[in-house]
Amino acid sequence: PLSCPQTTPPLPATVSFASRAGIMFMMGKKSEIVSKANALPGRSTPLSISPAHYVLETPMKAPWPAGYKVAVFANGCFWGSEKGAWRLPFGIHTTAVGYAAGHTPNPTYEEACSGRTGHTEAVQVVFDPSQLSFVDILRWFWESHDPSQGMGQGNDRGTQYRSGFYYFDEEQKELIEQSKAAYEAAIGKKITTEVKAASDFEQVFYYAEDYHQQYLAKPGARPYCSAQPLQVSLPDFEKWALPHLAHHAPKLPKAFW
């Protein structure tokens, strides 16, 4: 199977699909998240990344503009997930790929691929809630992959490809859980998406290496996406959201979808 491209700086133009398969063959497929006691030690120094987004030309790291919100989610190989997020038509301030919901501080790509850090490949999105609703991001998240596949997505298998959404406040939690129930009913399958508080982790998101950031927009990128969307729409917001969450109504027009 095609899994975890093994790449080295400065450009992943040297990535081969054989190496994607090889790294997981060598390290083994992981079906259980490693315990904190058995996780790799990592490092105290963050991985180095460019200061500006390759496409949007906005800052890659905080501080963010006042009032902007953050979403962190995982839905398969992070290359395609990030591209889908930065291409939303308005309201996106910046995006980044990284490793989320694990134990190892500042893991490398190879460490995350080993299954010994506890992380999943993830995307961090910073958005302006006056232009784009958290519910818009949620709808895109559910519809852009198959959230019933457990520890993997498509050909990419292992805990580092598990579906997940990590909330920063109680309203995000409610919206994730209520939309999850609605989408589960719509697809007729049990959703395995991990839903946890960002505060459950010492740090929920660590930036990936610079050559992974906005990878699919860079010269020499090899198009690859493991996601297997089900072609099923999330039911209308009014059908699943409780009344006290009405102020999170979607802002993207239905024509967008």
Quick check: pTM over 0.85?
yes
pLDDT at 155: 85
Question: 167 has which bridge partners?
Answer: 197
Q: How many CB atoms lie within 10 A of CB 58?
A: 16
Ranges of beta strands (E only) in the chain are 69-74, 92-100, 120-127, 152-153, 156-157, 164-167, 194-197, 205-207
Question: pLDDT grade, residue 177 (50/70/90)?
Answer: very high
Please list, residue by residue across 26-54, b when 16 or more beta carbons sit within 10 angstroms of its beta carbon and e when fewer do: ebeebeebbeeeebbebeeeebebeeebe
Tokens 């039911």 belong to which residue?
A: 235
Q: Which residue has the higher pLDDT, 10 or 198?
A: 198
The answer to whether 120 and 52 are in contact (CB under 8 A) is: no
3-state secondary structure of 97: strand
Tokens of 189: 């399958």
The phi-psi region of residue 177 (left if phi > 0; otherwise alpha if psi is between -120 and 50; otherwise beta) is alpha
* 3-state SS string for 121-179: EEEEEEECCCCCCHHHHHHHHHHCCCCCCCCEECCEECHHHCCEEEECCHHHHHHHHHH
Active-site positions? 77
Tokens of 257: 């979808």
pLDDT at 225: 76
Q: Average pLDDT for residues 214-231, to the nearest whole number?
A: 89
Give the model confidence (pLDDT) of 67-80 as tens digits. Answer: 999 999 999 899 99
Reference 162, options 256, 26, 33, 20; nearest CA is 33
Tokens of 5: 């491209």
pLDDT at 31: 84
Give the model confidence (pLDDT) of 69-109 as tens digits. Answer: 999 999 989 999 999 999 999 999 999 999 999 999 999 99
Reference 153, options 143, 164, 145; nearest CA is 145
Give the model confidence (pLDDT) of 17-51 as tens digits. Answer: 434 443 443 344 568 999 999 999 999 999 999 99
Question: Which helix or strand (DSSP H or E) is residue 239 part of?
Answer: helix 237-240
